[in-house]
Amino acid sequence: MKVNLGCGDKPCQAVGWTNVDSFEGVEPDIVADVMDLPFDDGSCEMVYAGHILEHLDYDKDVPRMLAEVKRILAPYGTACFVGPDHDRAVNDLTATPEQLHEIIHGNHDRPGAEHRWLSTATKNHQAIRQVFPDAWEVDILALSEHWPVVYRATWQFAVLSS
């Protein structure tokens, strides 16, 4: 099974992916909280979590969510975490002022869409490595097409773990 966590209004259309979100209005395949996923232990070969961590409490909920991803990840499975990197965005000439504002604050289009902390690749990688010690950062533009990344903006980070 391949799971796309936090699909929002951009679910993965590729065959074999199950889209999960906690907001019924976005029409995921499964409505579920990322803190309590309805999958068996070790049942997912690929787990994609795009732009989720910055919406959670960094100290309390990020470790819990990462532990939940680890629980459902199959042995030799791979998890991919993607999100905004404020440091890259500040130095990225293609990032607009509106994008920079959204990277800092979120878009507030529904409850939970606000960012709870300033997301950087370094801070995300540190949190991810607490649960996935083998995690490594990958250039978002070089990330395999197998992952359901909605857009490959250079101000994003990508971290893989197996």
CATH code of the domain in which 62 resides: 3.40.50.150
Average pLDDT of the residues in 23-33:
85
How does pLDDT run across 52-104, given as a tens digit for each residue?
A: 999 999 999 999 999 999 999 999 999 999 999 999 999 988 888 998 999 99
Residue 65 lies in domain: 2-161
Average pLDDT of the residues in 92-118:
87
Distance of alpha carbon 51 from alpha carbon 81, whole angstroms: 8
| Count: domains in the chain | 1
Q: Which residue has the higher pLDDT, 57 or 23?
A: 57
Token code pair at residue 39: 């999958």
* pLDDT interval class at 31 (50, 70, 90): very high
Whether the CB-CB separation of 74 and 45 falls below 8 Å is answered with yes
